[in-house]
Structure 1
Amino acid sequence: MTEPNRGSNPFDDMEAVVLEEHEDDPVVEELTGLIDALSEDEQIDLVSLTWLGRDDYSAADWAMVREEAARAHNERTASYLLGVPQLGDFLEEGLSMLGYSCEDFEIGRL
């Protein structure tokens, strides 16, 4: 979604417009659908990776982190994850801590 005639350019506002929330955002809808389509175990793993990647735990804590995520699991996983500002970074770091990279999970390489 864009705002016509903002009177500014992306450089001036540091491209902050990409951080604005808009009703019916297709990216949010697509990510929500993707996360909601995951099994409960996959959602728990995604939350666990997020928590692991934010440096609250070490790789050795994986089982404990996953147990905590399982206890906290509810029907709002997508909303929770999309509210994490550095979600992509946390997921990447969590994978790295477990010895994986994002490239290991590219479509067609699974």
Structure 2
Amino acid sequence: MLEMNPEIVCDVIARSREFHAKEEVVIPEEPGNPGDDWAMQILADHADDLTYLDLKTQIDDLDPEQQVQLVALMWLGRGDYEADEWDMAVEDAKDNWTPTTAEYLIATPLVSDYLTEGLALLGYSCED
């Protein structure tokens, strides 16, 4: 069961769509895990981008448990886990949590789609 307000996830989805829709944002591959530093290297090019900074700040301001929930939702929506494996996804995300979780999420291609799908698999929606 999702242990954070789905509206927070919906806001992250909206902001990530806005950032990823920019033409200059090119993220070449799927990330391996949250501990890899490739995400920070790729996103360094966007350090002055206000859309990026807004999204990064929003995720950084979440407590670690909420960040873990976001990562688990992304993995669920990406198909790494089934809905009945939610608790395992959360535990794995907790085991892999780092202070660079925001960069990991933002640097994931299709993160907004994965989060949307993850919410749907748990019975939530961003539609009013």
- Taking structure 1 as the reference length, the TM-score comes to 0.75
| Structure 1 residues 1-110: aligned runs within 5 Å | 17-20=23-26, 21-103=45-127
Counterpart of 1:17, as a letter, is E
After superposition, give the CA deviation of every residue in 1:72-94 in whole Å (9 maximum; x if it has no partner).
00100001001101000000000
More displaced stretch, 41-50 vs 20-29: 20-29
- Structure 2 unaligned spans of 5+: 1-20, 27-44
Q: Matches of 1:23 and 1:44 in 2, distance apart? A: 23
Counterparts in 2 of 1:18 and 1:62: CA distance versus 1, 3 Å: same
Q: Let me know the Cα RMSD of the aligned residues.
A: 1.8
- Taking structure 2 as the reference length, the TM-score comes to 0.65
Structure showing greater relative contact order (alpha-carbon pairs closer than 8 Å, 6 or more residues apart): 2
Counterparts in 2 of 1:37 and 1:16: CA distance versus 1, 3 Å: closer
Deviating runs (4+, > 4 A) in structure 1? none
After superposition, give the CA deviation of every residue in 1:41-69 in whole Å (9 maximum; x if it has no partner).
10000000000000121100000000000
SS across alignment from 1:24: coil
Equivalent pairs counted in the alignment come to: 90
Larger Rg over CA atoms: 1
SS across alignment from 2:99: coil
